[in-house]
Amino acid sequence: MSKNATVVGEAIPNLPWQERAEGSREVLWRYSENPILGWNPVGRAARIFNSAAWPHEGGFVGVFRADHRNAMPDLHFGRSADGVQWEIDAEVIPWQNEAGERVYNRNYAYDPRLVKIDETFYVIWCDDFPGPSIALGQTKDFKTWVKLERPLMPFNRNGVLFPRKIGGEYLLLSRPSDSGHTPFGDILLSHSRDLTYWGKHRLVMQRQPNNWWESTKIGAGPIPIETREGWLLFYHGVITNCNGYVYSIGAALLDLEDPSKVLYRTHDYLLSPEMPYETVGFVPNVTFPCAALCDAPTGRICLYYGAADSYTALAFCQVDELLEHLKGK
Ligand code: BMA
């Protein structure tokens, strides 16, 4: 019998973790050794951020957004024994199409999410269709990477798959956008029986004009975590101030059977740019979550987030505490 019965998922005994610092009142607290990835980490990569991780064979695998030294982003694969120290391939992920031919991302690929559904790993990211749109690919062995049909029409960003089918259907969150730095955006949900044809589009969550940290746009972050009370979704919220956009992190709980229903969402952000690695960088004042891993027996959550479009950082929380916080208790 596990100590914590809230999360439906596997044990990740070596999940990165650090207790909340004494005196801190944060529900989501930063890793004291942040950032875990800094400038010029490998090959042509100038900055690695907004990246995704998943547990695999006692360690971790990751798909990383690397902005190269020409400022164009692409995806790299990496492995880690402890989820903190990463060995990242210097070469980009070599996608092929379903006929086995090598294909290339047109121009750019960024903000990947990574999820294992049944025995297959799926990567979902943003690439150029033309214009930002959601791309989907799969791999079973991290050697053969197959790009699948594109789920949705452009322009769209922040594609996030649920980690299992619900009612026999795959579920995908997305954030319809424009082709630029989109000054609007809400989170939508789409359904598919085969990962090719998507429909039954539903509105899930909207930006909040009167809650300024999330008043310009919001977007789904990591793959949702299944709890007995609902799907726990971290998301980013954006305010526009005199100097531009500021990206903060919030969370919501979505209905288990129908995740287009929001049960609770944070009123105040959980984390917002404060630290030097969040407020100073290629794009100052960005905290952008792309992965959240949970050790089910303890309810410990490790959040991977991009900081200032320059660094990869970690933050931690405890699932029961976060659910209580969401409920306003
Ligand atoms: C968004 C995305 C993110 C990025 C953010 C801030 O539109 O491109 O990858 O972190 O802008 O630059």
SS3 track for 83-112: CCCCEECCCCCCEECCCCCECCCCCCEEEE
**Chain centre to alpha carbon of residue 212:** 22
pLDDT at residue 2 tops 70: no
As a whole number of angstroms, the distance between CA 234 and CA 254 comes to: 11
Residue 123 · residue 113 · CB < 8 Å: yes
Residue to mutate, 111, 155, 305, ligand 1, most ligand atoms under 8 Å from C-beta: 111
> What's the pLDDT band for 1 if we cut at 50, 70, 90?
very low
Kindly write down the DSSP assignment for every residue of 27-56, as one continuous string: SSEE-TT--SB-SS-BTTEEEEEEEEEEEE
As a whole number of angstroms, the distance between CA 77 and CA 86 comes to: 10
251 lines ligand 1 (CB under 6 A): no
pLDDT at residue 306 tops 70: yes
> What's the pLDDT band for 4 if we cut at 50, 70, 90?
confident
173-224 residue pLDDT tens = 999 999 999 999 999 999 999 999 999 999 999 999 999 999 999 999 999 9
Query: What pLDDT, on the 0 to 100 scale, is given for residue 5?
Result: 82
98-154 residue pLDDT tens = 999 999 888 999 999 999 999 999 999 999 999 999 999 999 999 999 999 999 999
**Chain centre to alpha carbon of residue 54:** 11
309 lines ligand 1 (CB under 6 A): yes
> Residue 126: which region, alpha, beta or left (left: phi > 0; alpha: psi -120 to 50)?
beta
110 lines ligand 1 (CB under 6 A): yes
CA of 67 to the centre of ligand 1 (A): 12
CA of 35 to the centre of ligand 1 (A): 18
Query: What pLDDT, on the 0 to 100 scale, is given for residue 203?
Result: 98
Kindly write down the DSSP assignment for every residue of 233-260, as one continuous string: EEEEEEEEETTEEEEEEEEEEE-SS-TT
In the DSSP assignment, the letter for residue 69 is: T
pLDDT at residue 248 tops 70: yes
> Of all atoms in ligand 1, which is nearest to the CA of residue 288?
10
15-65 residue pLDDT tens = 999 999 999 999 999 999 999 999 999 999 999 999 999 999 999 999 999
SS (H, E, C) 121-146: EEEEEEEECCCEEEEEEEECCCCCEE
Residue 307 · residue 34 · CB < 8 Å: yes
Residue 20 · residue 316 · CB < 8 Å: yes
pTM: 0.97
Dihedral angle, C-alpha 103, 106, 111, 113, nearest 10 °: -20
Tokens of 143: 């050697």
Residue 203, CB half-sphere, CA atoms under 13 Å: how many?
5
As a whole number of angstroms, the distance between CA 125 and CA 159 comes to: 6
Q: What is the mean pLDDT of the chain?
A: 97
Of the chain, the percentage scoring pLDDT greater than 70 comes to: 99
Query: What pLDDT, on the 0 to 100 scale, is given for residue 329?
Result: 67
> What's the pLDDT band for 3 if we cut at 50, 70, 90?
low
**Chain centre to alpha carbon of residue 10:** 19
> Of all atoms in ligand 1, which is nearest to the CA of residue 73?
9
